[in-house]
Amino acid sequence: MNWFRYVGPFVVLLVLGLVGHVTTASAAYPISSDPMRVKQTYLDMININGAWAAAEDTRTPLIVAVVDTGVDLTHPDLAGRLVDGVNLLLPGAKPYDDNGHGTNVAGIIAAAMNNDKGIAGIAPNARIMPIKALESDGTGDEAKLGEGIKYAVDHGAKIVVLSLGLNKYSAYLQGIVQYAEDRNVLLVAAVGNESTSVKYPAAYPPVLAVGGVSPDRTADPRSNYGPELDIMAPWDVYTTALGGGYQYQDGSSMAAPQVAGAAALVWGKYPAMSAFQVRSQLEQTAEDLMSPGWDTKTGYGLLNVQKALTEPYKQDRFEPNDTQAQAALLPAHTAIQASLSSAQDQDWYAIDTAYDGQLQFWLEPEESSATGGIRLRVDSGETFVAGGDSSQPFTVNVRKGRTFIHLQGVDRARKTALNYALRTDFVIYTDPFEDNDKQYKAFALPERSQTIQGTFHQKGDVDWFSMYLEHSGTMRIKVTTDTGRIDPMLFIQKEGEKSLTYDQTGDGGMEITSQMDVLPGQYYIRVSNVKDYIEPITGEYTLDIDYTPKLIDPNEPNDKSYQATFAALNSGYEGVFNRNEDVDWFEFRLPKESLAQVSLTNLPTTRLLYATLYDSSMKDLGTYQNALGNTSLAFEKPLPGGTYYIKLRANQWFMSQMYRLQISSFVLISGYRDIENHWAQSTISEMTSEGIISGYGNYRFAPDQPVSRAEAATVLARALHLTKQRELRFSDVATSFWGYADIAKVVQAGIVDGYPDGTFGPNRGLTRMEMTQMVAKALGMSGKLRGNSPYPDVGETYWGVGIVKQMAADGWISGYPDGSFHPEDGATRAEFLTIVAKLLNR
């Protein structure tokens, strides 16, 4: 059985009109002089004084049936304002209020005006019919609620207001709501007070859904909202209370009866209106609270009873909406009536959807056979034509965000207006894990912590997932939802073992969590709605899986140096610290002098890791640590060949992830890690030992890296033992430049010079031609013009052809295997050093 319950002041209210001839009078209602009217500030927010002045005192009452906890039948401010009701809980008994909520609702609508007592009700033409359908604690079932609504409708209701809520869709109540709509009865309901989706019955399309605003005219943060929200009324009220008194109350259930009272005044003045027109009149005269038109937080705006009674009814309240820029914003779930005034008229609407999914449109034009119908086009380009059969919807796929709808008559020669009715609905997207409605179809998830989002897109949808665990550990599973219409259930089972089921207590629980120890094996997880929530849901659930494996260190025991795990070079080793005193020892060997590099990765961000390096005699060679928050630690150290040890420890144990250790080495030759087996290895070593060349600070010589002009100048100055230097005037070589002195020496020696623009280009790469020219000048060669160029890519007009001819003829330079020289290509550090060595050894 599914139970309704009001939260705080949240309950069911039902407003009924009397069937029969309604007479009108010219007299307006007087302004209230009730002694507690000053406390009813909410009446000023909805402009009640102007409404009373504009209303018609019909002398024929509309009956307001309060389907609730009953009414205080002896309250002095309700005396003469009641008609016989019914007690559905105790047949034959009177509908006495044993909670107080029904009495709160009744006073807002129909407390006697100007009787020198208490407060004033909104609708002097209203009479209260108390229908007790809820228990003293405010709970009740669907059957009693439906019975109360049907009782009211069958006894001549014109307005029905429902101020209780349930998150679950009910086909039974949907049928009762349709029953009332088919009999031209207006339904009004409170949206609920949980800051989530609009509750049922307010969420059913025919029902006028009412939210609450605070005194500052903003939506109360507790008021539910969404595409079903229609109108707002004040959240805080002062009204009649059980036992003949008065009290402050709040909630959307206090806002709904204000709209019901307003509807009674409108229908009293305009008895020929249909229920749809009364509803539309209240919506189109509401005051915008946010953006113009409708929005999800405030609907069509704040109830304005004066405007509802004084402004003319608009058959097409969305005009002007002739262009996309003027498009009227509609809820995703709505029913409207509008008109195309001529063959040239066109209507634009916009619908915002909070998710990907499908929009459905039911479009019914009047006299479609004679007019050719109406063409509906969405901004994605899909086009449909609506004729006489409106039973089948047009369905289009939409993305989260705004979709535009364009309507225009098919018959472009039509002379008359074409009225139409448009109904819209939305179906949320199918999540990417489908089809997983059965355990054997479970969607396989990886063995790790993760977060996924899913939907219940169809009737009876459930989602199965599986996860195979290779390690023991702990698993925490949490399901949260973004709507109260999902009441999640969580089923967890290890294959072959007993299952566990979790359900949040109460209606519409939005979070459910489980935590458990897990062992290796296959696990199944099922996420579903409670069994009664079987309809498709517009909303998402989030499944958070936090899996923490209990990892086993494969290297244990290695707590002592003599237990050290041998670490082969360039291989990975994993480990954990299972207690604060735990240490891990590793041993590695270097066959010759090398640069040892130690890398530790996958460290927890909340831990410090210390690595101490020892030689074979257990001499401490240094301790290294990562910074807190860093997930890695790396260091390098040049070491002679031999055996070494690394001791690892952490400031606090961890077993949720495994660190990874890798030791690499590079053989050092002349202190360099990158010249072993290089073609210029011996030259580089010799020149390094003589102090002519040096590498970079990270044990690199970079033999194949381009040599800069400043580096070349330094090598020549050192190799030729130049001592004299001149003052440099190059704009790009300051006296503080690291190579200033050596550049000054080679310039003084006439070996190199700057460029015509006054620069030297110290960091510019040296070309092969510049290298050749510098060595030639060091040799005192001036070049020769006779003979042919030895290289096809050094022509007779090339500026350095003479130097190339002479240097090639004397064996100082050589080209590439294809016979070319590439004079403008960059010279490498190894190439330049080789030709300088040749210069020294001539």
Q: How far, in Å, CA of 610 to CA of 572, rounded?
A: 18
Active-site residue, selected from the candidate residues 75, 97, 101, 425: 101
Instruction: Kindly tell me the burial class for residue 39, based on how many C-beta atoms sit within 10 Å of its own C-beta (0-12, 13-18, 19 or more).
Output: middle
Q: Please indicate whether residue 822 is annotated as part of the active site.
A: no
Selection from 538, 557, 530 nearest residue 462 by Cα:
530
Q: How far, in Å, CA of 516 to CA of 520, rounded?
A: 13
What is the spatial order of strands in the sheet that 511-518 belongs to? 450-454, 541-549, 473-481, 511-518
DSSP string, 532-584: T--S--SS-EEEEEEEEE----TT-S--SGGGPEE--TT-EEEEEE-STT-EE
Active-site residue, selected from the candidate residues 32, 34, 68, 347: 68
Cβ contact 384:309 at 8 Å: no
Selection from 258, 263, 256 nearest residue 280 by Cα:
263
Q: 467-504: b or e for each residue (b if 16 or more CB lie within 10 Å)?
A: bebeeebebebbbbbbbbbbbbbbbbbbeeeeeeeeeb
Q: Please indicate whether residue 253 is annotated as part of the active site.
A: yes
Bridge partners of residue 594, in order along the sequence: 639, 667
- Identify the H or E element spanning 824: none
Q: HSE, CB side, 13 Å, CA atoms: give it for residue 359.
A: 32
Q: Please indicate whether residue 101 is annotated as part of the active site.
A: yes
Active-site residue, selected from the candidate residues 32, 253, 280, 528: 253
Token pair listed for 741: 């002195």
Cβ contact 244:251 at 8 Å: no
Q: Hey, how many other C-beta atoms are within 10 angstroms of the C-beta on 393? A: 16
Token pair listed for 228: 């079903």
Selection from 664, 493, 657, 642 nearest residue 569 by Cα:
664
- Work out the widest C-alpha separation in the chain, in whole angstroms: 133
SS3 705: coil
Active site amino acids: 68, 101, 253
